[in-house]
Amino acid sequence: MKSKKIRWGILGCGRIAHKFASDLRTVDSAVLQAVASKDENRANTFSETYNATTCYDNYQALVSNPEIDVIYIATPHTFHFEHTLLCLKHKKAVLCEKPMGISIAQVQQMIHLAEQNEVFLMEALWTAFLPHYQFVKELIVSKKYGEILEIKADFGINVAFDTENRLYNKELGGGSLLDIGIYPIFLALDLLGVPKEISAKATIGKTVIDEDCEVELKHNNKVASKLFSSIKKKTTTEAIIKLERAEIVINGRFHEPSSVTVTEGNKYETFNFPVETFGYNFEIEHVNKMLQQGNKESDIMPLSKSLELIATLDTIRKRINLEY
């Protein structure tokens, strides 16, 4: 696949797929080859909006198209497993929206099939590829301000109760943890590694999903991450990283294109990273590069990180007695 344009397919035409397709148009090395939705009208409208070459009213036709290199899976959480396996069985590279699965057993099976068929697979945790987050990672890795002492991160939105909304639908993997709580947890794991201890408590709503979830992770050297997510309370959605000689704040909302404030003593500086897109183009460019190089997994979001992430999420769900 050296140097050629990477031909994308999109499976599912919901809200996040629109943002993804909009940003894909800005990537020179990508072309939107086909889209698929079980709703024919939705597929047609989506295809026309983003100039896809082809559209389908079923997923089988999408994965059978020989003109597609990679498929972005944008369906609800509980369908990720089924749809990823469908793509991998047809030897299509996959970028699967987070969470990659709703249990470690699912993710292990997805990875096994990708390895068996020698196909690229990556979880779409777009934050990892954003310029402001890469900047923070570089500062931490450089040890310029010493070791991390503590991380605090939250992600809260106020969504009116509605049984039709997927966030309140247990069958669709609803709740705060898997949808938005995954971002603070990813941040903690990415910067501090797998936790040694996990404690959590949650408010379980009447549709038996977590309306909010409070998590504390203890890492090596007893460093703690204090994390919070909610679909009932709006928060600043910022991340505060305390180091030995400074404090780094990823300003709200930390998981999407944002600014970073570094405070050292009584001096502070804010670094801005303006982008003209939603920000999905950075992960698209990365996937294109991986495919052009013939890689079967990402060097920034490798499958080992997806396993660590889902293992942590599984443990948290056990702590709060939440099953899907």
The catalytic residues are 98
Q: Rounded to an integer, what is the distance from CA 149 to the centroid of its chain? A: 25
Residue at token pair 């930390």: 254
Q: Rounded to an integer, what is the distance from CA 25 to the centroid of its chain? A: 20
Instruction: List, in sequence order, the alpha helices (H) in 26-149.
Output: 40-50, 59-64, 80-89, 104-116, 131-142
Of 82, 36, 42, 40, give the one whose Cα is nearest residue 63: 36
Amino acid residing at 218: K
Rounded distance between C-alpha atoms, residue 157 and residue 180, angstroms: 9
Q: Are 320 and 175 in contact (CB under 8 A)?
A: no
Of 239, 254, 169, 252, give the one whose Cα is nearest residue 205: 169
The first and second tokens of residue 307, run together, are: 């396993």
Rounded distance between C-alpha atoms, residue 34 and residue 11, angstroms: 9
DSSP 230-253: ESBS-----EEEEESS-EEEEPSS
Rounded distance between C-alpha atoms, residue 231 and residue 168, angstroms: 9
Residue at token pair 């183009």: 281
The 3-state DSSP class for residue 54 equals: strand
